[in-house]
Amino acid sequence: MIWRPPRASWNAPSRKDAALTDTTTFLATRRSIPIPLLAAPAPDGAELDQILQIASRVPDHGKLAPWRFILYRGDAANDLGKALAELAEAREGAPLGEARQRAESTRLSRSPLVIAIVSTAREHVKIPVWEQVLSAGAAAMNLVTAVHARGYGANWVTEWIAYDEDAKALLGIAADEKVVGFVHVGTPQDAPTERPRPDLADIVTEARAREAK
């Protein structure tokens, strides 16, 4: 069933409460979908534009927009997969086995759409690079959330191609840019199983006032 985002009305307290409940349930139950379960269709046109708009609507100290998105789909995804397989083969100096050949050549076409989130953070007089990178992470998470909110599934991976300069160049990513993630997008063919989540007791502490002298 497609989860439809509530139309929040922030002026009416009763509607607001209802909207927040729905949003909370959505956020509390969202899960990544394994890539093999992401089939066509993927969002496109105005729906994809809306997802990308939401991804770019994130906290961004200094309004630098220190991130960008690249879409891989269709013939381009197939062709770039072949190029990645050739690169892997050249690296290893021997023909890839059948399974490996398939894995590399379908790296960007296992799902109907892959969206790279690229950090374009650079030194700035006021805004630390760290904060620019954090904003890019927020953009990636907003993208994942928006995809799920539209009733599709997403999975955020990096894999070797995120850290290999030759692979990055093939994919249109400059040496001074960093891959935040490749988000695979499609229509879930099955519900994912839940995974263990951290215990709040392990990750939350309460700050205490200093001891009185």
- Can you say which residues are annotated as belonging to the binding site? 30-32, 57, 61, 156-158
Residue 3 in the binding site for ligand FMN (CB under 6 A): no
Q: Quick one: which of 66, 153, 181, 186 contacts ligand FMN (CB under 6 A)?
A: 181
Q: Quick one: which of 105, 119, 145, 155 contacts ligand FMN (CB under 6 A)?
A: 155
Residue 195 in the binding site for ligand FMN (CB under 6 A): yes
Residue 29 in the binding site for ligand FMN (CB under 6 A): no
C-alpha 58 chain-centroid distance: 13
Mark 7-26 with x for binding to ligand FMN (rule: CB under 6 A) and - for no binding.
--------------------
Q: How far is the CB of 125 from ligand FMN (least distance, A)?
A: 28
| Alpha carbons 179 and 82: distance in angstroms, whole number | 20
Furthest-apart CA atoms within the chain: distance in Å? 73
Annotated binding residues for FMN, as ranges? 30-32, 57, 61, 156-158
* Residue in the block written with tokens 């998470």: 141
Name the residue among 53, 44, 81, 39 with its Cα closest to residue 146: 53
Ranked by CB distance to ligand FMN, the top (closest) residue is 32
C-beta closer to ligand FMN: residue 195 or 210: 195
**Stretch touching ligand FMN by CB under 6 A, among 36-44, 112-120, 150-158, 165-173:** 150-158
Q: Quick one: which of 65, 71, 96, 157 contacts ligand FMN (CB under 6 A)?
A: 157
Which pair of structure tokens corresponds to residue 205? Answer: 């502490």
Peptide bond into 41 cis (omega under 30): yes
Residue 190 in the binding site for ligand FMN (CB under 6 A): no
Which pair of structure tokens corresponds to residue 29? Answer: 């139950």
Q: Helices marked H in 37-171 — which ranges?
A: 45-55, 74-92, 98-105, 129-149, 165-170
| Alpha carbons 152 and 201: distance in angstroms, whole number | 33
Residue 120 in the binding site for ligand FMN (CB under 6 A): no
Q: How many CA atoms lie within 13 A of 157 on its CB side?
A: 16
Number of H helices, E strands in the chain: 7, 5
C-beta closer to ligand FMN: residue 85 or 138: 138
Q: How far is the CB of 34 from ligand FMN (least distance, A)?
A: 8
Q: How far is the CB of 210 from ligand FMN (least distance, A)?
A: 36
